Amino acid sequence: MAEHNDFGKLAEDEAVNYLKRKAYRIAFRNYRYGKAEIDILAFDNEVLVVIEVKARSTGYFGDPEQFVSKRKIQFLINAVNKYVEQNNLDVEIRFDIIAILKQKDGLVVNHIEDAFYFF
């Protein structure tokens, strides 16, 4: 496995551990629908949270959360709609980003709740 893939897996594991410490219930990891992949689906109380994990080994080119494109957001919306339909859920949905930046002394986790809004 390529080094960047190893770092991506490490970042997702770190995000899951972070969420569990905050009492989130992990429902699914790496849910796929069509071209979309939702990194983590979790429950924060009764809210279904769609979590995109973005990790960077350096902040030189910008913060990790800046790399979530409009196209990616649309894929996430389509995928979570399918997940809700498949599981016959009637829940509020929230979209979060967990940005992870590698630094000398370890990983820095930035959890951005309600990362994008829809009108």
Residue 118 located in a structural domain: no
Report pLDDT for 55: 76
- Higher pLDDT pick, 119 / 73: 73
Assess whether pLDDT exceeds 90 at residue 66: no
Q: Say what the pLDDT of residue 108 is.
A: 83
Amino acid 92: pLDDT = 95
pLDDT at 7 over 80: no
In a domain, 117, yes or no: no
Residue 32's φ and ψ, nearest 5 degrees, are -115, 140
5 pLDDT band (50/70/90 cuts)? low
What mean pLDDT comes out for the span 48-71?
Answer: 71
> What is the number of residues in the chain?
119
The whole-chain average pLDDT of the chain stands at 85
- Is the pLDDT confidence value at 119 over 50? no
Distance CA 86, CA 88 (A): 6
Domain at 102, CATH number: 3.40.1350.10
Q: How many domains does the chain have?
A: 1
Q: pTM of this prediction?
A: 0.85
Residue 60 covered by a domain = yes
73-108 confidence digits (pLDDT tens): 889 899 999 999 999 999 999 999 998 888 778 778
Q: What span, in angstroms and rounded, lies between the C-alpha atoms of 5 and 42?
A: 22
